[in-house]
Amino acid sequence: MEILADYHTHTVYSHGKGTIEDNVKEAISKGIKTIGISDHGYKHISFGVKINDIYKMREEIDDLNMKYDNINILLGMECNILDDNGNIDINDKIIDSLDYVMAGYHFGSTPTSLRSMLNHCNNYIIKNEKSKEYNTKALINAMKKNDIFIITHPGDKGDIYIEEVAKIAKQTDTKLEINSSHGFLNANQLKQIKNIGNKFIIGSDAHIPENVGNFELAMKIAKEANLDLSLIENIKI
């Protein structure tokens, strides 16, 4: 298997342990063609990237692309889905600095209102049909409302109706992630949606440089689900 890209990696700009260049060097050592730096959106209370740091990251990545001509280095962001209206922590100024946008559900993101905050907390903790509907609506509206490249670890922080999410992902050309750290999408989810025609991305979700390109768990999940591996866009078999 050849890893063409790892779009989901974190650095010291959020709560990763390595620098951008550390991740780049690790990717080069593993023969990866494209490395994406995708720290957490700024509305995460504990480890969101500072807004002003986004512009520093852009400059740093531009410089590193000049320094290393054997890899493509991209700046992304793993935005937080903030409510069931599909709002994410992004704005037009930030978008201009990014190469791509990912979005996912996370503990500790700051919702857009008190109502959203209560719903968010309840839907993380309480597992029932109402919370599942809320979570599903949040992901669907996020894809409809924003230009999202990848939905990260779908169903991990809150249960969802995966078939409904997958259908909208196909309509909006949004990739669904098989996350090699969280284990979502899991094999059961993939079995439910593998015939819908979605495209998938494997993400290492590396928080230390050594885990860049670590696709072991994700590949195990894909094979367990008997997924057509040609649907995974960032690997070559």
Q: Secondary structure of the chain: what % helix, strand, coil (to 5)?
A: 40, 20, 45
Report CA torsion sign: 180, 229, 31, 95: negative
Query: Tell me, what's the pLDDT at 44?
Result: 82
Distance in angstroms (rounded) separating the CA atoms of residues 159 and 135 = 7
Kind of pairing between the strands at 235-236 and 2-3: antiparallel
Report CA torsion sign: 106, 108, 109, 115: positive
Give the residue from 67, 110, 100, 57 showing the smallest Cα distance to 203. Answer: 100
Give the 3-state secondary structure of residue 36. Answer: strand
Query: Mind listing the domains of the chain with CATH numbers?
Result: 2-236 (3.20.20.140)
Distance in angstroms (rounded) separating the CA atoms of residues 150 and 202 = 10
Each of the 237 residues of the chain gets a pLDDT tens digit; together they read 999 999 999 999 999 999 999 999 999 999 999 999 999 999 888 789 999 999 999 999 999 999 999 999 999 999 999 999 999 999 998 999 999 999 998 754 445 544 454 455 545 555 678 889 999 999 999 999 999 999 999 998 789 999 999 999 999 999 999 999 999 999 999 999 999 999 999 999 999 999 999 999 999 999 999 999 999 999 999
Query: pTM value?
Result: 0.92
Residue 32 in contact with residue 6, Cβ under 8 Å?
yes
Report which residue type is found at 39. Answer: D
Residue 139 in contact with residue 163, Cβ under 8 Å?
no
DSSP conformation class of 5: E
Phi, psi at 19, each rounded to 5°: -80, 170
Distance in angstroms (rounded) separating the CA atoms of residues 183 and 26 = 22
